[in-house]
């Protein structure tokens, strides 16, 4: 399988059927899904396979595997979701499923080039991301890529024993182009 999008340390490619078991394990790991809206209903291998097949035919979602270049290992997933082709916007999601690689800047790098792909190849106008307020690492990765806080949904998710807020961040192509002229990081 060829690399779809390539960065310095990771590359993105379409998910393959043999990736499903790893993907399934991540979505059933409470640490990996700590800040995700997961774990309410059981995730089965069959449901993961059905989701995989649905993504293959979706015209409004692009879900890609994040692969570490140094050893060609699947380490996570990144997606451009709910693509609105009329208004040219979408949401971005990311998960580094390999916990040994957390805090190494791989999510920030991946966000940088999935955003570049969204703006330069897909001709989107704006990309957004949302995360629980407690997910400081995710928010920092997006802000380091030029995303700005656009709003907050108060008490949106029940997390552990209380309701928590969700931050909504966004980035327009114009701001991204301006930021990119100042710095070329990835």
CATH number at residue 27: 3.40.630.30
Kindly report the pTM of this predicted structure: 0.90
Return the pLDDT at 51: 84
Walk along the chain (186 residues) and give the pLDDT tens digit of each residue: 455 788 889 999 999 989 988 988 898 888 888 888 776 777 888 888 888 888 889 999 999 999 999 999 999 999 999 999 999 999 999 999 999 999 999 999 999 999 999 999 999 999 999 999 999 999 999 999 999 999 999 999 988 889 999 999 999 999 999 988 766 655
Query: What letters, b where the CB count within 10 A reaches 16 and e where it falls short, cover 87-115?
Result: ebbbbbbbbbbbeebeeeebbbbbbbbbb
Quote the domain boundaries for residue 35: 5-182
Tell me how many domains the chain contains.
1
Structure tokens at 151: 């709003």
- Report the Cα–Cα distance between both ends of the chain, in Å, rounded: 23
Measured between alpha carbons, how far is 164 from 16 in angstroms, rounded to an integer? 35
Phi and psi at residue 89, in whole multiples of 5°?
Answer: -140, 165
Alpha carbons 151 and 135: distance in angstroms, whole number: 15
pLDDT of residue 1: 42
CA distance 19 to 76: 10
Query: Residue 62, SS3?
Result: strand
């Amino acid at each position: 399988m060829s690399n779809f999008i390539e960065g310095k340390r990771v590359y993105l490619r379409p998910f393959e059927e043999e990736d499903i078991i790893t993907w399934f394990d991540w979505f059933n790991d409470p640490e990996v899904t700590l800040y995700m809206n997961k774990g309410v209903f059981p995730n089965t291998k069959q449901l993961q396979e059905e989701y995989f097949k649905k993504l293959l035919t979706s015209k409004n979602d692009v879900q890609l595997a994040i692969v570490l270049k140094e050893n060609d290992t699947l380490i996570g997933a990144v997606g451009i979701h709910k693509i609105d082709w009329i208004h040219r916007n979408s949401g971005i999601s990311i998960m580094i499923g390999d916990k040994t690689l957390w805090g190494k800047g791989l999510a920030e790098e991946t966000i940088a080039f999935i955003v570049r792909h969204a703006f330069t190849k897909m001709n989107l106008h704006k990309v957004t991301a949302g995360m629980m307020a407690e997910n400081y690492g995710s928010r920092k990765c997006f802000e380091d890529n030029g995303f700005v806080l656009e709003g907050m949904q108060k008490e949106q998710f029940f997390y552990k024993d209380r309701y928590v807020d969700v931050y909504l961040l966004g980035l327009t192509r114009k701001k991204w182009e301006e930021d990119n002229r100042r710095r070329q990081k990835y």
